[in-house]
Structure 1
Amino acid sequence: MDQDERLLHSSSFGAAAAAYAEHRPGYAHAAARWALEPAPGPRVLDLGAGTGKLTATLIELGAEVIAVEPDPAMLTELRRGLPAVRALPGSAESIPLPDASVDAVLAGNAMHWFDMAVAGPEIARVLAPGGVLAGLWNVLDDQVGWVAGLARVSGSAAVGPRDTPAAWRAETAGMHLPKTGEAARFGSPEQAEFPHGQRRTADSLVATLATRAGMLVMPEQEQQATLGRIRAFLASRQETALGEFTLPMLTSVLRVRRL
């Protein structure tokens, strides 16, 4: 994905902020705990916080959370849902916090949008020595047969290059993590995956997939055709045709420590 395409996709969520807040899953607590394990203290920045899905998980774990989000509509949803959280406009490339002011920087389904050549030094600046940078992604568990079928019929716009475990491992293994000089150097990245799930119906799962960036920027006729294929597939499977079911997922984590 080139720079212009990345910017188009990353700026697409505001138009669907309410749907994002309603349908996107939170994160496995075990995954967030693992991400924070090496952090030297409780101060956490949720960077690219969206509507606060990861923020809510971090609060439940007892972290002291500041949320930063560039999209005004997403930030409004975050403030509405989590009014007690300090939530600021800003981006990974321009973080509105002082030097060494947080012990961890976490990003939920957002780090792939960061321009790490610029964001890397900014993240290093706000992290305390020994602090942690971690990205968390919810991915579909395509070891489950019907989930693999869903990934096939959905196409890359709905199930993208980080949305299954093997694809996520390959994509993040080569991710440009910050190496910005001796004072801001990070250690070796680590990957881990944690079981997760979300209660869905066929309709709500279609609504969830409709909030993916690739779907949001798709021409309407093509989007409706894709969602129609997904609905037909879910109606054809006994696991998903009637009532509620659990969508099998993993929360996958990439973490690196500031030296």
Structure 2
Amino acid sequence: MSDRALSFGMMAQAYERFRPGYPEELFDTVAAYAARPLRTALEIGAGTGKATRLFAERGVAVTATEPDEAMLTELRKHVPAHVRTVRAAFEDLRPGERYDLVYAAAALHWTSPEDRWSRMASLVEPGGVVASFGGPIEPADPAVARTVRAARAPFLARDDVPSPDGTPPEAEMQWPGTELRRSEWFTDVRQAVIERRFTLTADDYIGHLSTVSAYLVLPEAEREQVFHQIRRVLPETLQITADVTVHLARRRYDP
């Protein structure tokens, strides 16, 4: 697991405050694709439970796994009491119980690529669903986005997470759909986008950036400088694009 993957625990409370939750449309999209009851789910890299709440509050028995104890502590403050929590990385999970749904919210790219899909297949029922979803949170105004990039440039060339398999951003099918299509374990791979727009204050946008791994791994002095430079060029409020890209696949019965 990379340093960026392990950087979130020190900011668990900020992550909870500044990261948005997930819309009900996301659950509806997953449930419609499943086309059968989703009684049980395993969540990979649950963080502070933003997605956990969505599924647990719709009646799914969620087992939320997360390797960072600070994140789990924060998660337990906010999720229904019936959610089961396990401190474990994806790579630590062992075959045993199988679930109707295995999902990851903005976390799957942190998992090890080695045997990723065979591991996943061992955790989901045949005919069950794998879901991965997330997306960047960015200024909606292209001019503001350019200004932010220019202010960030002396410290970071980019602050996103590159596609793990090198899929270019203009490709019709994005990762992990690309890998799922190549996997012998899964079929019926689909990609959907749930559009979201909202308004943030400049300070809350900086708060969000403070939870992004590219900034978290900077030396503290540089991190403070880049946030200062970005804050200087922001309007007091800004429109935000926060689309959720959803990838879905079904576990084959006979791989």
Aligned to 1:16: 11
Aligned residues: 241
Q: CA deviation at 1:168?
A: 9.0
Compared with structure 1, are the counterparts of its residues 116 and 254 closer, same or farther at alpha carbon in structure 2 (3 Å cutoff)?
A: same
Distance 1:156 1:195, change over 3 A: farther
What is the CA-CA distance between 1:171 and the residue it aligns to? Answer: 5.3
Query: By percentage of residues, which structure has more helix?
Result: 1
Q: Does 1:68 align with 2:61?
A: no
- 1:64 Cα deviation from its structure 2 partner: 2.4
| Contact 1:138-1:250 within 8 A present in 2 as well | yes
Contact 2:177/2:189, CA 8 A, preserved across alignment: no
In the superposition, relative to structure 1, how do residues 34 and 141 fare at CA in structure 2: closer, same or farther (>3 Å)? farther
- Indicate the SS of the match to 2:27: helix
Structure 2: which amino acid aligns with 1:233?
V
Residue identity opposite 1:247 in structure 2: I
Query: How far apart, CA to CA, are the structure 2 residues paired with 1:256 and 1:227?
Result: 39
Identical-residue share of aligned pairs (%): 32
Give 1:91's aligned residue. 89
Measure how far apart 1:51 and its partner are. Answer: 0.6
Q: Secondary structure at the match of 1:106?
A: strand
Cα distance in structure 2, aligned partners of 1:141 and 1:169: 20
Residue segments in structure 2 that go unaligned for 5+ positions in a row: none
Give 1:224 deviation, angstroms. 1.6
Q: Deviations over 1:55-109 (max 9, x none)?
A: 1122343322221111111111111222512111122112267332x11111011
In structure 1, how many angstroms separate the alpha carbons of the residues matched to 2:200 and 2:95? 37
Q: Distance in 2 between matches of 1:199 and 1:59?
A: 27
Please report how far the alpha carbon of residue 38 of structure 1 lies from its aligned counterpart in structure 2 after TM superposition.
2.9
Q: For structure 1, which runs of at least 5 residues remain unmatched after alignment?
A: 1-5
Superposed, which structure 2 residues align to 1:1-259 within 5 Å?
A: 7-39=2-34, 40-42=36-38, 43-82=40-79, 84=81, 85-95=83-93, 98-100=96-98, 102-140=99-137, 144-146=141-143, 148-149=145-146, 152-153=149-150, 154=152, 155-161=156-162, 166=169, 172=175, 176-177=179-180, 185-234=185-234, 237=235, 241=236, 246-259=239-252
Indicate the RMSD between aligned Cα atoms, in angstroms: 2.8
- Displacement, 1:127? 0.5
Larger mean CA deviation between 18-27 and 170-179 belongs to: 170-179
Q: Distance in 1 between matches of 2:157 and 2:8?
A: 17
Runs of 4+ in 1 over 6 A off after TM superposition: 167-170
State the distance in 2 between where 1:132 and 1:104 align: 5
Q: 1:58 to 1:123 in 2, by over 3 A?
A: same
